[in-house]
Structure 1
Amino acid sequence: MKETSTTLATDTFMTPAQLLKHWQLHRNLTRKMINTFPEDKIFSYSVGGMRPFAELAMEFIGMAVPTLTGIITEKWEQFKHEEAPATKQDLLDLWDEQTEIIDTLWPKISAERFNDVVLAFGQWEMPVYLLVLYVVDNEIHHRGQGYVYLRSLGIEPPAFWDRE
């Protein structure tokens, strides 16, 4: 039997820039979801005791920048915002502001840092790349609730694959 070997050109499946792009595409879709909700439902409508979508969006906001800041500084502080958004436009504006901060913070994380194990917020010990994926997965998971809410309201949600 002949032995064969395969050599990979790189040991990196995804670059940090590709991971950021993946995350930002998901954030684009979540922004579309926020925008699709009627003003009178985004802060109050829920199904089966789940939280309204605005609360879920604030959870995503509360995770993104504090996680990146913690990865960079090792200071794991909760998100602080003077007051909760009162309108859908306020929520969209805050979303966009946080997206810009993510874009500013991301280049401060070296490629090597993604393999470092951190204890995020004193409770989640994992490699940085898994922590970032957790933040993305959490957004995807809860965005699914938004799809249920919109459909129950008779509103066609954005296509799940349309992330541009």
Structure 2
Amino acid sequence: MENKTFPLSPAVADAPVLTSQILLNHWQGHRELTRRVIEAFPEDKLFTYSIGGMRPFAQLAIEMLTMAGPGVRGLVSGKWDSFEAVQSKLQSATTKAALLKLWDESTDEINEYWPQITPERFQEIEKVFGQYEGPVYWSVMYFIDNEIHHRGQGYVYLRSLGIEPPPFWDRK
């Protein structure tokens, strides 16, 4: 079979695969799904249930929250609190309702700060939370990957509790 290449105009060849808005929409779809996973947990299991030494899902959600809003705000401003300092502020959430409220506030914070990340900024190197150095786009992708990873743990917990988790592909 012959391998055909199709020449592209310079404008098309340099066009981004994803725009900033497409990336944000993708992440917010994951965040909406993770929110539904939080909602699916029984109140008495969200903060206590664990398998094989993994942390309870509420602790995983707090980690996700630590990266989300504060992460985008830091990517915009270049000013960072330590990961531990941000996380300790979120530990006050001890009910599902409080955790979901923080989740929604975080979503609003992401939506507020995201438009301030310029296309050039995505290519700049940043030391996120004073620890992880790399391009801004890499940090955003890490925030998303970390959420997907921990949401998968939530799926395992829910299934072990006999609860059907929301469909993983349904990221409305």
TM-based fold match above 0.5: yes
Q: In the TM superposition, what whole-angstrom CA distance separates every residue of 1:92-150 from its partner, at most 9, and x where no partner exists?
A: 11100110111001111111111111121222111111100000000000100000000
Question: Greater helix percent: which structure?
Answer: 2
- For 2:106 and 2:170, the matched residues in 1 are separated by 21
Partner of 2:7: 5
Partner of 2:41: 37
Partner of 2:118: 110
Q: In the TM superposition, what whole-angstrom CA distance separates every residue of 1:70-94 from its partner, at most 9, and x where no partner exists?
A: 2111111142627521210111111
- For 1:23 and 1:4, the matched residues in 2 are separated by 32
- For 1:154 and 1:34, the matched residues in 2 are separated by 15
Indicate the SS of the match to 2:89.
coil
Structural mapping, 1:77-116, within 5 Å: 77-78=81-82, 79=86, 81=89, 84-116=92-124
Deviating beyond 6 angstroms after TM superposition, the runs of 4 or more aligned structure 1 residues are: none
Residue identity in the other structure for 2:48: S
Structural mapping, 1:1-164, within 5 Å: 5-7=7-9, 9=12, 10-78=14-82, 79=86, 81=89, 84-164=92-172
Q: Please say which of residues 152-161 and 62-71 is displaced more in the overlay.
A: 62-71
Q: Please say which of residues 138-147 and 72-81 is displaced more in the overlay.
A: 72-81
Deviation at 1:38, TM superposition (A): 0.3
Q: Does the CA-based 8 Å contact 2:62-2:91 persist in structure 1?
A: no
Q: Does the CA-based 8 Å contact 2:68-2:143 persist in structure 1?
A: yes
- For 1:34 and 1:82, the matched residues in 2 are separated by 15
Residue identity in the other structure for 1:6: L
- For 1:150 and 1:55, the matched residues in 2 are separated by 15
| Alignment TM-score, normalising by the size of structure 1 | 0.93
